[in-house]
Amino acid sequence: MARKKIIAGNWKMNMTPSEAVALVNTLKPLVANDDVDVVFCVPAIDIIPVMEAAKGSNIQVGAENMYYEEKGAYTGEISPAMLTDVGVKYVVLGHSERRQYFAETNETVNKKVLKAFEHGITPIMCCGETLEQREQGVTMDFIRQQVKVGMLGVTADQAKTAVIAYEPIWAIGTGKTATTEQAQEVCKGIRECVAEIYDDATAAAIRIQYGGSVNAKTAADLFAQADIDGGLVGGAALKPDFGQIVNYK
């Protein structure tokens, strides 16, 4: 059975609630495509208004981060129960910006992944190398560690429903995009790593996205690759062009 493509927009720290509603209303007709899962991962303050604006459409709403405790004295954090209570289905975890700016580690990402599954939220777990790591030839070593530690304690049945997003750090927001061959090579390597952790059936089921300056021109070639099951899209998700990415055929 073919894996259904999943195309998610990661809004990052953009869009006030009123701007978010206007953007959803603009994008709703442009992203109508039942052949793919369309997810808007939005800032916490935008989740409820975006959820309301997206009603009746094919848009699913995700969060950009989540803490690994149920509740408590964690000022500024958002809990899984808060997300599920308003209908959130996906959460981006371990994005390179979270790792770089907020000191997230493979171990804390793993805690969040486990907690997301516990609450029925699908994690979009990010991984990716720096330009220096790629030039040193350690890309797959680094990414395999991110995947193996990030998935510790995750069952095969859970893993089959997960999403892994490969985002080369050197291609995020830089305008640079990994070549189709580079993206496919790493996504294939991630699938092989999942097969090692679990089995071939789990590896065949898990969805692996490519992210990193994905745009309307590159989407079709990237998504046609055997091991690339859609994209995690940054800047282009804030523009009407996102409709072209979603309808890449």
Instruction: List the catalytic residue out of 52, 64, 95, 97.
Output: 95
45 C-beta neighbours (distance < 10 Å), count: 12
Q: Active site includes 119? A: no
Instruction: List the catalytic residue out of 97, 104, 129, 167.
Output: 167
Our measurement of the distance from residue 203's CA atom to the centroid of its chain's CA atoms, rounded to an integer in Å, reads 17
Q: Active site includes 95? A: yes
CA dist., res. 97 & res. 123, Å (int): 16
CA dist., res. 68 & res. 118, Å (int): 10
CA dist., res. 249 & res. 247, Å (int): 6
CA dist., res. 216 & res. 81, Å (int): 35
- Tell me, what amino acid is at 198? Y
Q: Which of the residues are catalytic?
A: 95, 167
